[in-house]
Amino acid sequence: MAKSRRETQTAIRKPVNAARGTAQQRQMLRVQRSEPTDGVVRNELRFVSYQGKSGRLNAVQPETQIVTDAFAALLGRMSELGIQHDALLVNYENANRANAANHANNSQLAGENASLKEKLAQAEETISRLRRQIESARDQANIVVNTLSS
């Protein structure tokens, strides 16, 4: 299947550039969906923010302001799409429950894996012990055969 690509861009806060009389994009949300290989869907959500050097970013933690702006932009876009915040909380709680169930399942599988490894080690010890007993019996049989033939 050929690579498919679907992209949606949402521009937010488009102040007018006085010098040119055109709208400038100050923030942008971009959602891009692609299928790099068969059966694999890649979803990207990108937030882009443009600010001058005299912008309001905190020099100590600029990421805090960027994340806050991105979150506000996402909430605005979701309200444009008609998605209610209560529905988001339900989806979030369902995702958390699913993750907890997967974690519990993974923990159970890890326990079973450890148990199987222990059983395998015991079986290997038993096989080694039986090999030694067979070799010992074979050696004793060879001694008896040599004694009788001489």
Three-class secondary structure of residue 97 per DSSP: helix
Are 79 and 107 in a shared domain?
no
Strand partners, 68: none
Are 13 and 79 in a shared domain?
yes
Q: Which of 27, 9, 32 is nearest to 73 (CA)?
A: 27
- Of 8-17, 46-55, 68-77, least confident by mean pLDDT is 8-17
pLDDT value at 126 more than 80: yes
Task: State mean pLDDT over 10-39.
Answer: 67
Are 104 and 94 in a shared domain?
yes
Task: Indicate the pTM of the whole model.
Answer: 0.39
Which of residues 53, 83, 113 is at a domain's end? 83
The domain total for the chain is 2
- The structure tokens 């067979």 sit at 134
* Per-residue pLDDT tens over the stretch 86-99: 766 777 777 778 77
* Per-residue pLDDT tens over the stretch 113-124: 888 889 999 999
Q: Which of 81, 100, 78, 80 is nearest to 89 (CA)?
A: 78
Are 71 and 120 in a shared domain?
no
Query: Where in the sequence is the domain holding 135, given as residue range(s)?
Result: 85-150
Q: Which residue has the higher pLDDT, 111 or 54?
A: 111
Which of residues 29, 61, 83 is at a domain's end? 83
Residue pair 48/26 in contact (Cβ under 8 Å)? The answer is no
pLDDT value at 12 more than 80: no
Are 90 and 34 in a shared domain?
no
Are 91 and 39 in a shared domain?
no
Residue pair 34/3 in contact (Cβ under 8 Å)? The answer is yes
Type of residue numbered 147:
T
Are 9 and 72 in a shared domain?
yes
In this prediction, residue 4 has a pLDDT band, given cuts at 50, 70 and 90, of low
